[in-house]
Amino acid sequence: MRVDQIFSRAKSAGCQPISFEMFPPKGELTLERAREVAAGFAPLAPDFISVTYSAGGSGNSAATAKIAHMISSELDIPSVAHLTCISLTRETLAAKIEEFLAAGVENVLALRGDLPAGMSEAEAGEIAFPYAKDLIPALVDARFCVGAAAYPEGHLTCDDLTTSVKHLRQKQDAGASFFVTQLFFDNDYFYRFRELADAAGITVPITAGIMPFTSKQQVTRMVFTCAASLPAPVIKILARYENDPDSLRQAGIEYACRQLEDLQRHGADGLHVYTMNRADVAKAAMSALRA
């Protein structure tokens, strides 16, 4: 099923789609391991599952379509295949579209991806698809339902949030049917971003992405790679359980569940859980949202 149809039906029913993300740890996620992970998610009946593509289109990106096909065909759960554009040529994009179509992929999340090692921003501007907005029209023409990323605190390379929202509008104008946000730890950032997006004429659904933090190392990595701010309650949790990893993990999951519950109450268009491929994380989130 197309994700735009999922959002439309949920809106008519007065509810919000709840979705999960699977990712390839260290660039590796075999089809068999992906099947095990997805089987852990299936009893929770998410509205869709997205499958990442590896940073810069490297790693096991060739498995994305196979995993997405497995999720939709074997588990009867709609899937979304991520696709990063930074390393694509027009020829490799055409081949990737054929691969996705052959695998029965209906939904694609168009992303820029990380710059390849040694490539500058100036050099990136000279390639075939420097930004996600440049990739979206080709995917729409191929009849995919296309989503894109949104950044409640602004993109790492963009200091001005208003400019980030303008970029979001460009993605919508290019044909994006839905957005999934980067993770954030403070819901106020999402609500301010939602107001700016509304004012900018963003009319397609924006689903809020939340990642439960389970270790201090993970939080530190997210802060530097995603430019996510740490609110005082998170800092206090990290300090309180610095020497108690099990309690820190449980507190991090509970904090994320409170975020999700608050977003649900405030009418977020959808809720997307960065599960870290952990069924227990997904189960905790779903229990909080469907209580």
Indicate which residues carry an active-site annotation: 21
- Which helix or strand (DSSP H or E) is residue 271 part of? strand 270-274
Angle between helices 90-102 and 132-141 (to 10 degrees): 50
Cα–Cα distance between 111 and 54 in angstroms, integer? 11
Cβ atoms within 10 Å, residue 121: 9
113-117: long-range pairs with CB below 8 Å, 24+: 113/53, 113/55, 113/56, 113/57, 113/84, 113/85, 113/86, 113/87, 114/55, 114/56, 114/84, 114/86, 115/56, 115/86, 116/56, 116/86, 116/87
Cα–Cα distance between 39 and 229 in angstroms, integer? 33
Using DSSP, state whether 15 is helix, strand or coil.
Answer: coil
Tokens 């029913």 correspond to 13
Query: Within 13 Å and on the Cβ side, how many CA atoms surround 228?
Result: 25
Give the burial class of 117: count Cβ atoms within 10 A of its Cβ; 0-12 exposed, 13-18 middle, 19 or more buried.
Answer: exposed
Instruction: Give 57-81 as a DSSP string.
Output: G-TTGGGHHHHHHHHHHHS---EEE
